[in-house]
Amino acid sequence: MATIPKLKIILTIAMCHFLVASVGLTMVPTEQLLRVGVDGQLSIDLSDVEAASFDFGRLSKAEPLAVLHPSSAEDVAMMVKAANGNCFCVSARGHGHSINGQAQTDNGVVIEMSGSRSKTAVTGPRVFEEEMYVDVWGGELWIEVLRATLKQGLAPKSWTDYLYLSVGGTLSNAGISGQTFNHGPQISNVYQLDVVTGKGELLTCSEEHNSELFHGVLGGLGQFGIITRARIALEPAPQRVRWIRVLYSNFLTFTKDQEFLISLHGNPASQKFDYVEGFVIVDEGLINNWRSSFFSPSNPVKITSVNSDGGVLYCLEITKNYHDLNANDIDQEIEALLEKLNFIPTSVFTTDLAYVDFLDRVHKAELKLRSKGLWDVPHPWLNLFIPKSKIEEFDKGVFKGILGNKNTSGPILIYPMNKNKWDQRSSVVTPDEGVFYLVAFLRSALDTQGKTQTLEYLSNQNRQILRFCDDGGIKAKQYLPHYTTQDEWVDHFGDKWDQFYQRKMEFDPRRILATGQRIFKPCSPNDDHVNVAAW
């Protein structure tokens, strides 16, 4: 055990010289850097650096100078203070599920918030049963939050479809899924945060205390601080889920029913569904692929067997939560709701499973893909918020136009949300309408599977979709946004840009945080004044 401190000293000294040689920092005495005194592990090991160089998107690579596995929020603060004083960049990385290198840096340190080495001194989720909330380390994965809260019969209200994401990561974006229409995004279900700002200050914030930081960090793309703790609202957890999928051949009928279902958000639980999503089917293989394995392999659904609209089908996905004690009532409640919808009568598919199994459904699909070597491939995903008034135009121009009947190499999700469930004080931007849709193109690039599944083809298709929105005045907003110029970011934030800019100047004036987002030009050692020129 005596060799561990020596290893940390060696790594820290190496880090010091590496920073000086690589980015021209003013020499800082070794003793001064050693006073950073992190209890975690600061590593320049090639395997650590390589792991932090990629993300889920696998569209870019950026090698950090070092990787910190913190053991506490104080470790994070100490590293950010060192970076702030010496002008190198810091990016917090959770499960690495970003698409366009948002958590990467090639000129600084990646702080690995998730993983066992990052939590050697960090306790797991702490559930407060009477108060109905849970305190969670920012690098904790949502699957671990769920497991901890279920032991007390509780669960967070709002989810993402994939639970192997970090709490800090989803809260830095929004965190959305089929429950969003009812409970709002995950950022609307947070009571309190501990945040390390770009100045290295460790602050507790909430609506009442340090509120500007609180609202800025939620959906703030990591620009103002690193979330080290979140206090998340809980509710009694159901035991089981009735999972239903129905098909539509007419887009307007499909969206009318989706919008009707989300309008029921204020009704008693017995008079609404708990989850509303949907997806678009533009080729016959998609409906029976990994995302749609819900359907029976022995009885696959074929587009040609249904009178589809322009070669496209639409699937509504809904669930009803329940407890064993009210199992006898669930069929009647579901039947009453389904009677108000106008799906294809013969297309009802139903399954029943434990609540945890429904929430963790995508992970099972991940394991199948990993076994086939189809997980660690490029993912040119595109996520858009589309105003309700433009969704029909989007269907005609994109689903039936740009995509046609070509193999799409992955699911296309589509579902509406209520804007009044989003706190407009947060940093997130959404369309300026009461209802807007998420349209998510979750494709995988498989260069061995034909031209329409190559990275080049899918990336070009994404550009066509964005141009279609721009040319048609659709005023779409990117979710998990990616831009390369500050002008594009200014346009993205619109009326919120001035506030976003001021928050940056207040909480990260040296622009050292989350530089992989490419919103602000990072500082350089020779900066004598604040310069926020674009990349």
Active-site residue set: 97, 161, 277
Q: Which two tokens stand for residue 512?
A: 């050292």
CA distance 489 to 481: 9
Burial level of 310, CB count in 10 A (0-12/13-18/19+)?
middle
CA distance 189 to 412: 26
CB neighbourhood size of 307 (10 A): 10
C-alpha dist (Å) from residue 45 to 22, 49, 67, 95, 519: 16, 6, 8, 19, 29
For 387, list phi and psi in degrees, rounded to 5. Answer: -60, 145
Q: Is the four-CA dihedral 305, 161, 216, 501 of positive or negative sign?
A: negative
Helix, strand or coil for residue 470?
helix
Q: Which two tokens stand for residue 249?
A: 């051949």
Q: What are the residues whose beta carbons fall under 8 Å from the beta carbon of 74, sequence distance 6 or more?
A: 39, 202
For 285-292, which contacts have Cβ atoms below 8 Å and span 24 or more sequence positions?
A: 285/407, 286/407, 286/408, 286/411, 286/412, 287/313, 287/315, 289/410, 289/411, 290/365, 290/368, 290/369, 291/362, 291/365, 291/410, 291/411, 291/442, 292/411
Q: Is 311 left (phi over 0), alpha (psi -120 to 50) or beta?
A: left
CB neighbourhood size of 143 (10 A): 17
For residue 517, give the H/E element and its range.
none
Residues 222 and 104: beta-carbon distance below 8 Å: no
